[in-house]
Structure formats: structure tokens, C-alpha cells
Amino acid sequence: MSINFSNLPELPADDLTYAVDIFDGFDRFTEPTSISAPHGFGQAPSGHQAPLEPVEGSVPEVSTSAGRATTSDHRQHLNKLAQKRFRERQRVRSCTLEAQLDQTSAQLRDLQDVQTRLKTRNILLEKLVELNKQAGPLSGPSVLPDNATVTDLYKSRGFKAVPDPLLAMTRNVSALNLTVRHDVAQLIPVQDVGKLSLREFAKIYTAYTHQMAACLADDSGDDSPAMHRLQQLTDECWTLIVIIGLTHVSGVKDLQDCNMGEGVACPDAKQPEFYCAIMATMQHSDPQIQDLLYLRQLFYGKLGQLARERTALLSNMTCYKIDESHISDKVAQLTQWSEQLRENAAEEHQSYKQFSSAFYRGIHTSKQLAVAQVCGFPWLPAVNKMLEAEAVRRGEPPMRILLEDTTLDDLENAANWADVATYLTTITFQELLLGTCVVKIVSCSITR
């Protein structure tokens, strides 16, 4: 079927104007899209992309992958800057807190030192009041003519040398000059010191402690007359104690169990807190603490060596069989072992004396000894218990561990303790007065 267009009326040319105007404003839809269009309708020829002009006010278009990469890099850069700023703030804050901590710690240490000094002074003043109430006439022992010297006294006890450095300097003196009473100079022959009764010694000890407390309460400086008098009192009193420990039947043990205020012996029931408090009042420096703990290590190493030697000797004597054959040789062998046991016991006793001398004379100052004596009154503090209390407080190995320690052989332990004995002979009188001597046994191989 065919359509005949010839009969249609002809429209005037002006009538097409409206038809053309219909497409006005649709030019933007002629841009290339995903829909293909015939050549010549809004597209360039094949192989050429028609340049597009951006619409005014629009954002330039970028490819999806390139846009994502740019955004990711920018975000990483911002994160790095934020992390850097955070770390810088943390560093500044950490430095500020450390500075505040150091300042606060220093202030705390200063306050603790002040508290310790005030507490010690308070104790000293309380003891001084107590001693003022007990003060009375001092009656000395009977003075017997005797020319025995300190050296003779030590030799009578089996010592080859005088272990106490101060006594070694006065070994040829046959009498002690006690100045505890200012109005009367009291001379006591060395041989008569052992004849002092416990009550007589308690009176002398109390008088010395009383004057020491008065000197400590003066607190007018280390170079004051009171401090010089304190040094003299301390040296006299502890020399007297050392000699009594040698001449008295029970040694220092009776003195340590004696209530000096009453002159009566009592069982030693003092708790470790008592000795810890005394050590705290002495206000040790760090080098002194190191020397004390090192001395303790050497001392128990020496005692452990002597204990193992004694055990071996007793084992030999127990297992030794005596029969009728060669009986004289076997008796001689037993006699030799017995003599070795006696020497072992004498060496242990001498080690105790050397340990006490190193503790009192080799490490502490006269002022520290006087503080310990006054604060411990009416008791005479035991050296080993004071040191054990300090060792426990600082977490040091217990005595049993040190006695059984075999890290060093017995020859090394003996050599180490021989260095302590040698050191005691090198202390000068000036060092004793100034309190500048400390244990310096550099040849010992024990690690602190």
C-alpha cells in the first residue's frame, strides 16, 4: 500500500520556524554519551574525541582511579602529620613529667632526711632527759698496781696481733685514762678492767652515754668543742668495751644482755625493729652501706670456711679407729686434730673481734657510734644483729645462704678475710678521729 503525499497542502516557509524552535536548548544533550550515535550527530569522526568545554561553575572531572590515588595520598600525609604532632606532644609531656618527678623525688628525699634528723634529735633529747634523772655519783673500781699492757692482754687470749686499730696504737699503755668525770681523771690498769662488775661497768657506761647525749644535743657543728669532746668520749667508751670483751669471763655477751640503766642482766629479747631503728638513726651514706654489706659477705664467708674445716676435722676424729697396732702414731694423729680444732675455735673468735673492729672503727664515725649508743640506751646493741636487720631490710641474702656459699673456695675466703685484717692495721689515728676510714679491700674477688 502506497501513501500519496501529493494531496497534502503546502505549508508556507514561515511555518517551519516553530518546528526548528522546538529543539532550542537541547544542544547539551548532543554531548558524547555511552549511547552511540550516528556520525555527524554530536560526535567527532572515528578515532577523534571532540574537545569538550567545561560548563561554567562545574568541577573538573578526573578519572576514578587517579582520584582515588590522590585522595589516599593526601589522607596518608595528613595522618603522618597528626601522628608527628601527637608524638611531639607526648615527648614534651613525658619530659615535663620526668622533670616534675625528679623535683618531687628530690624534695621527698630532703624531707625524709629532715624527718630522720628531727626524729633522731627527738630520741636524743628524750634519752638525755632520762639520763639526767638517773645521773648519780660514779664509783670506779679498785685500782691495783699492775704493769700489764694491751698487747699482753691480747697475747694471753691467743691473739698474735692486736686487731682493734685504736688499741693497737696504744698497745704499750698499761692503764686506761677515763675522763668521763671532768673533775677527776680516773686511771684503770688494763688488767683491772676485767675485774669490773656488771653494775660498775653499767654506771660507767651510763655516765659516758649521758655526756654523749649532751654533746649531740649541742649540735653546734662538726668542728665545735662539743664534737671534739664527743670523739674523745666515744673512743674511751668503746676501748673500754673492747677490753672488757677480752678480759671478762663471758665477754661482750653479758654486756649486750645488760640493762645499763639498772645494771641487771636480762635475756636478749629485743626485736629486729629495735636494731633497724638504731641503724636508721645513724644515717649511713651509700658508700658506708656498701662497705657494711660487703664486710658482712666477707665475714660470713670466713665463718663458713671455718665451719667446713671444723666439720671435716670432727668427721675424721669420729671415723678414726684406734686399735693396738701403731697406737702411738694414732694418738699423735688425734692430738694433731685436736690442736687444729683449738686453733679453729681461736681463729673464729679472732674473726669476730676483727669483724667488730671493722664495723666500729673502719666504717663508722665517732658521731654515728655515739648516736647508736645513746639511741640504744639502756641496751648495748649487738653488732651482728644490727647488720642483719639492715641486710634483711635491703633484701640481702640471709646469713645461712652466705655461710653455705661455695662460689669461692676456702682458700679464697681465707685470703679475703686476711685482707680485712691487714686493712685494720693500716687505719691511722687521724682517720679514726675524723671518721674518714672506710673498708677498701680492692683485692677481694667477691662481687658486691
Mean pLDDT of 1-20: 51
If phi > 0 it is left, if psi is from -120 to 50 it is alpha, else beta; for residue 418 that is alpha
Mean pLDDT of 378-393: 90
Share of the chain above pLDDT 70, in %: 66
Q: How far apart are CA 384 and CA 275, in angstroms?
A: 10
Confidence tier at 223 by pLDDT (50, 70, 90): confident
Q: How far apart are CA 297 and CA 223, in angstroms?
A: 35
Q: How far apart are CA 239 and CA 382, in angstroms?
A: 16
The pLDDT value recorded for residue 445 is 35
**Using an 8 Å Cβ cutoff, are 326 and 361 in contact?**
no
Q: How far apart are CA 363 and CA 440, in angstroms?
A: 10
**Using an 8 Å Cβ cutoff, are 176 and 190 in contact?**
yes
- H/E segment holding residue 259: strand 258-259
Percentages (nearest 5) of helix, strand, coil residues in the chain: 65, 5, 35
Mean pLDDT of 77-87: 90
Lowest mean pLDDT among 71-80, 182-191, 212-221, 381-390: 182-191
Q: What are phi and psi of 175, to 5 degrees?
A: -150, 150
Mean pLDDT of 196-205: 86
Confidence tier at 341 by pLDDT (50, 70, 90): very high
If phi > 0 it is left, if psi is from -120 to 50 it is alpha, else beta; for residue 25 that is left
Bridge partners, residue 177, by sequence = 187
Dmax (CA) for the chain in angstroms is 176
H helices present in 248-320, as ranges: 252-256, 272-281, 286-319
Share of the chain above pLDDT 90, in %: 25
pTM, two decimal places: 0.65
User: Nearest-CA neighbor of 421 among 355, 346, 340, 371?
Assistant: 355
The pLDDT value recorded for residue 93 is 92
**Using an 8 Å Cβ cutoff, are 286 and 387 in contact?**
no
Residue type (1 letter), 75: R
- H/E segment holding residue 167: helix 165-169
Cell of 281: 638513726
**Using an 8 Å Cβ cutoff, are 363 and 261 in contact?**
no
- pLDDT tens digits, residue range 254-268? 777 788 888 777 776
Angstrom CA distances, 373 to 68, 123, 192, 279, stand at 84, 12, 24, 11
The pLDDT mean for the chain works out to: 75
Mean pLDDT of 392-401: 92
The pLDDT value recorded for residue 61 is 52
DSSP-derived secondary structure letter, 58? P
Residue type (1 letter), 391: A
Q: How far apart are CA 272 and CA 390, in angstroms?
A: 9
**Using an 8 Å Cβ cutoff, are 377 and 127 in contact?**
yes
The pLDDT value recorded for residue 201 is 87
Radius of gyration of the chain (CA): 48
The pLDDT value recorded for residue 6 is 54
Could you tell me which residue, 251 or 293, shows the higher pLDDT?
A: 293
- pLDDT tens digits, residue range 88-144? 999 999 999 999 999 999 899 888 888 888 888 888 788 878 777 766 544 444 333
Three-class DSSP category at 264:
strand
The pLDDT value recorded for residue 327 is 75
